[in-house]
Structure 1
C-alpha cells in the first residue's frame, strides 16, 4: 500500500495515448493563444484579460477531464471483498533457482499463505496464465508454455468484473506488459525469482540482425553470449569450448543447419558475427542454440529466434550535399553495408562539379550534373538525405523538386550542423515547410557541449528508434558512465504542430529535441539536429551499434513501409503483433476530398470498431491504433465512402502470435512490475516479502474499509458544476465587457 499522507497521491488515467494527448494539448494551447491575441488586438489586452483567463480555465478543465485524475481513499466495506490472483504457469516458472524448488511451487506457497491470511475478509478467485488465461488455479496439461502477462491483464480487465485488488504471482516474463486496458483495482505484484548473482548459467543475451534484407545478398547476424558464475573454478573449466549452432527456416517451412561454431565464455561473455544469406522472398527464421551444461540453471535462455523479411528489391537512399561533411564516411559505412539499402552519395567538389558514389550496378546518369530536377526524377529514390549547407547554395528548381518529391510520398532526412536550419538561412527559403519546427533568425543554433541522449517513452516503439532504448539501457548496465553522448547539437525550440520528438539530448538545464519527425503531404520528414553522431561509430561497441541501428532504421522509416490502393495509403508504425500488444498505422486519403472512413478489426471473438483520429494540422492524414485480443489471424479493414457510395476498401490480415523464446530473460523483472503496480495504486514485492504483501492486502481488504480509486472528474458532480460555472462566467464577462 502507498504510505498514508495528508495530501493523497493522484493517479492519472488518461483517456488518450501519449502522442494523441500531446497533440490535443498543443492544439488547445494554440487555440487559446490565437483567441487571446485576436481579442487583445480588437479590445485591448487589459480589457480582455478576464475573459482570456476564463477561457484558459475552461481549457484546463477539459484537459483534466481527459487526464481523469483519481485519488486513493478508504471507503466503507461491503459484505466481503473480492480478490483476483493471476498465477504465472509458463515454462520459466519451472526453473529451480532457489533451494531446489521451482518458481511455480514457490508461487503456490505464497498463494496458500494469502488464502490463510485473507480467507476471512475476501473471496479469492485464482486464475492461471501462460500465453492464454484459464479461470482455474491449474491450467490443463496441454497448456502452452509462453508468457503473456499483458494479455492476462487485458482478459482480467474485460472479464473479471469488479474486484477490490489484483495479485500477480509471476517472474515478469520476457517483455514489459503494455495492455490497452487494466483492471480498475490496485495491483500487488509478487515477483518470483532469486538473485541472478547467485546463478550458474549461460545465456544468449541478444541475437540481432536487420529486420529486412534484399534477397540473394549476404548479411550479418550478431549474437552476444553471457555466462554467470564463471568465476567458480569447477564451472569455469566448462565454458571455454561451448558449441553454438545456427539454424535457418525457409519461408516454405524447411529447416537446415547453417553453421556450428565454438564459443569461449570463460571470461563471462563472447560475441559472434554470423554471415547468412536469404535466397527467397518471404519471412525467414534464424535460430541460435547455445550448448547448455548439465549443472546450469536452465536451457531456456540458451535459444533465441530472429525473424527477417527478405524482399525482392532494396531501398534506394540518396545523400546530397554541396559541402562535404565528416558524417558522409560513417553514413556510407552504416547504410552501405545494410543488405536492404542501396546507398548513393552525390556531393559537390567545386564549382558545379559533382562526385557520385554508388553501387556498381546503379544507374547514375541522372546525377552527373547534380540533383535531378526533372518531374518525378527523384521518385526512383526511397529516401533523400540532405547534408548541412546554406540555403543560398540551392537553386530554385532543386528546391521545388525536393518539395514535390516529399509531398508526393518521398522520405527526407535533414542533417544538422553549423550551416543547417537557422544557421543556413532556411527560415526564408522555400524549404522551410520541410523543417519540423519554427525557425527564428539566421544565427546558427549549434551548441557545442556534451549531452547524453535518451529515447522518450512515448516514442520507444516508433520504427525509426525501436529497440534503441534497450541499447542505451544495456550500456548503462555494462558499467562505466553508461552514456552515449552528443558533443554538439542544434537547439530546437518551437516544434511544428504535427512534429513528434523521437530522441532528446539531456542538458543540465533540461531536455532538447534531437530527432524530430513530421509528415508533409504524402511524405515523411525527419530532422537529426546534430552533426556529431558519426563519432559514435568509432566509439564504444554499444555506441557503434547504436549508430548503425539508428541510421539503418531511420532510412527505412523515412522510405516508408506503406501499402494501399488509389485513394488509401497505409503506413504501419508498430510491429507488436501479439495478444495485448499495440500497433498503429497512418492512413492517408489521396485525391478523395470529403471521403468518410471507418476501420475495424475482426478476430476469433468477433468484430470491433476502431477509432480514427485526424493527424493535427495535416489534412487528409488519419491515425488508427489497435490492440489484439487473440492469437492467430486478425483481419484489419478500412472502408472509404464518398456521398454514401463505396470508394475503396483496404484489407490486411495480421498474424498475431505469442512472444517467442520463452525464458529468454530469466531474471525476475522487478523494476517493470514495480512500475506497473505503482501506476495502478499498489506495489511490487520480492518473494521474500510475501508476508508483508499479505499484511498490506489485509489492510486494503479489511471489512471496515476498502481502498478504491475515486475519479475527481465524476465525484459528486463537482467537476460538471465547475464547467458550467466557468462557461457562465465567460458569458457574463462578455456581456459586461461588451465583447461581441
Structure 2
C-alpha cells in the first residue's frame, strides 16, 4: 500500500497559494474578531484554518494504491479431433491421424503431472460436438468437423475459469454445414480477446487424398427447365486422380415416374440413347491429375419434375465413391417446340440461333448447298418423321434440294398440324420450283416461275389486320405501331401476291403497301409466307429484343402455342439442388385463366423431407407472389414442397407441388486433406502459436518449470482520498460550523 499525490497544479503553485492564504488569515482575520472572548476567537480561527488545510489537501488529490497478488489456479484445455477424417492413414508409420494424436497425448502425461500443481488439465474430444474425455483413444467416428462451433462451445465451457492455454490437436478440416458451419476464425479472435490463446498441432500428410485413385464430378451445368422432346445439353466437370490412361464412363440417369404418385421418388434409370442425343460417353484422363468438361445430351420424354443424375462409373480400387455422382431436379414441360430450318449459309441464321437460348424452342438448322448444287444436299429423312418437328422453315432453298417423297412427307406433317414458313430468297417460292410440288396448295401466295424482287429499303409495318395479330405484337398495344416505325427497314424483299379468293391475312406491309408477311390456316396447320430475309439488321442496330420476340412469336403462332395452359396455383424452388444445410427459397402464387396474378390470396405451404417429416413454412408477400425460406436441409435426398391457395377462406385451384434435392455428399471424407493453414490462422488470431509435437512438448515443459502464463496475476487498486462524499461532507460541516459561530457572535 502506498500514498500518492496528483496535484491539480504544480507543487510550487499549490504550496505558494496555501502559504499566501495562511498569511492572510493569520494577519487579517484576528482584527475582525478581537472584540470576542478569546475562546470564541480561537474556535473561529480553528474553523478557518481547518477549511484551508482541507482545501489544500484536496488540491493535492491524494490517493492510496493497493496491490494484490491473485494466485488462483489456471486451466489448460486439450481439444482432440475425433472426426472421421482423423481415420485417414497418412501419419508416420502408416498410422491413422487419430492414432498419432492419441500416442502424442499419452506421451504428455508426465508433463501434465508436473503441471498439475499449478493448473488443472481438462481433456475434450470434438467433432460436431464437444465431449468430456477421461483419456484420448485412437478411435474417431464424428460425422462432421465444426471447428467454429467447437471453439464457441469451448468458450462457454471455460466460463469464468482462468484459461492459460487451449491445446488444439487436429487435421484442421472444417467440414460442416447449416447452423454448424460457423466461422472458426471469428471464434478464435473472441478467445484471443479473452486472453485464451490457442496452441495448435496439425496431423495428416500434406498429400492426403491427393495420391489415391479417385474420380469426382462437379459443376453440373444444364438448364433446369426444358420442354418435352427437346434436346437437353448437360455439361459436368470430371476430376480424376490416379486414373491417367484409364478409360472411364460418364452416364446420365433420369427418373422414371410412370405410375409413381407425387410425394414419392421414382427409380433412376439410364437415359435412353436417341439419334440426336448422347447420354453416355467414355473418356480417358490424360494424366494422374486431370480435369475436363464432359458434354452429354438427353431427350426427356416424360414431363413434370424429374430427378437427373450424372454418374462416373467407379474404377476398381477407388475408395471414395460418394463424389462419383451429382444430382439435380429438372422441370420438363409439355409443349416444347422443335423447328427444322432448311437454308443456305447466310447471316440471318446467326441471329435466329439466339432463340435457342429459350428452353421452350429448339431450332435445328440443316444447311443446304446454294445454287445448282442444292440438289446434291443430303437432307436426312428423319426430319420428316411424324411428330419429330412441330414446324418447318424453308429459306433460300429450291424444291430440288428435297426429294419428291420428302416433300410428300413434309406436306403430311403439315396436314397433321405442323407449321410451315417460307422466307425471302432468290431461289424459292415460284422460281424455286415449288409451284409444281405438293406444297403449292399450302402456301398462301401465287408461285410464278420467276420471282419478282423488290430492291431498296422496305420498312416493315403492321397491316390493319396485323396491328392486333399475335405475331406482330413487339410492344404494348398503345406503342406497337410506333415501335414498328422505329425498326430499321428490310434490305429488299420478294414481291408476294396473295392467291385469288384466298382467306389468308396480310399481317405486314411495306410503306407503299407491298405485302411482306402473309399467314393462313390449312386445316390443323398454319402457314406463313415472308418476303424478307434481312431481319438480322434489326439486332445489329439496337433492336435485338424486338427481333427475338418477332421470331419467337412466329414460331409460337405456327405451332399454335401462342396461349399456354398453366396451373392456377404454382410453386418453384430455387436453387433446386443443394448442399446439406444450404437454404432454398420457395416462391408461389396463383393466377386466373388469363395468367394474371390473383389478389388477396392466402397460402398454406409445407415441405416434406426424405424421412417423411412435414414442416410448415411461413409465407411472406413479395409483389404478385409470396416467398418462404426453408433451411432444415440436413438430410440428403428429395424434399417435396406443396402449397394450397385460399381466397376468402376457400381453397381455389389445384395444389401446387415442386421438388428440390439435397446432395448425397460426405463433407468429412470427400476431400480429407488436412488444412494446416486454418490451424495456423486460428492460433495467430487468438494470440497463440502453430507448433509441431516437439515444440508443444518443449513449451509445456517450460511452463512446468517456470510457471504458466497468467498463473499469477498482480492486481492494483487505487482508492481516492479526496474525490468522495466524505470530503465534501467534511468541507460543508466546517463551513457551516464557522457560519453558525459567526452568526451567534453577530458577525453574519
Using structure 2 for the length normalisation, give the TM-score. Answer: 0.39
Using structure 1 for the length normalisation, give the TM-score. Answer: 0.40
Question: Greater CA radius of gyration, 1 or 2?
Answer: 2
